[in-house]
Amino acid sequence: MKRESTDRLTEELVADLSPVQRIPRLRSAFAVILAVWAALLGVVLGSSHAGASNPSFGALTRDTVYLASFLGLLVAAVGGAISALAAGVPGRERIELGGLTAAWVGLMAAAIACLSGVGASRLHLGGGLESHAMCFNKGLYLSLLPAGVILSFLVRGWTAHPLRAASVALLASGALGVLIVHLGCGVLEPRHLLIGHLSVPIVLAALGFYPLALILRRLRR
């Protein structure tokens, strides 16, 4: 009798359980994100016929502000992507916070470099409102695919801090998207780099983190 009661209790306890979904390895997930971004970069630069003839490639070696903004976006993209992936894996809080810190430090350093360039530059090299808006919109558009890939990994995990995870995921997506714009943009004026490029990950994270955090909270339940 006691054995039957125990068996029945066990069956009731496991009746509502669902199979555990395996959390992807951080290295594998990051490799997928990098591969998708590289493919997107190749498609965009190839379709625009930019190639090595684009002035932005030469600016990487001769323009300090352009190089600083590129490196800042690169650090933000890599650090933010690692932080977002680690946010979905319990026990990886150190990696998450380290990547988050690196992402914001990279963005702030790039912004400071652009601001100093705006103050020092007396020339206006074509960075008007139209070019700002064009690069900003293109950066947002190119952020959608990286965002989808990052979030597909994030929702398969379990995050203890949905707001933080959502903000850094969108920050990384914006940085990955606008990096492609940065490498294909011929406007090297610091004001344009600040408004048309660096603002993309910040605006994306600021406007989208709360709705995304609500989705992550729902999925966590």
Domain ranges of the chain: 57-220
Global pTM value: 0.79
- At 80 the pLDDT is 93
pLDDT over 70, % of the chain: 75
- At 1 the pLDDT is 46
Burial 56-88 (b: 16+ CB within 10 A, else e): beebeeebebbebbbebbbbbbbbbbbbbbbbb
- At 48 the pLDDT is 65
Report the distance separating Cα 60 and Cα 63, nearest Å: 6
Which residues, given as ranges, of the chain have pLDDT below 70? 1-24, 48-61, 119-127, 157-158, 216-217, 219-221
Report the distance separating Cα 49 and Cα 68, nearest Å: 25
Q: Which of 162, 168, 179, 172 is nearest to 216 (CA)?
A: 162
> By the 8 A CB rule, do 208 and 162 touch?
no
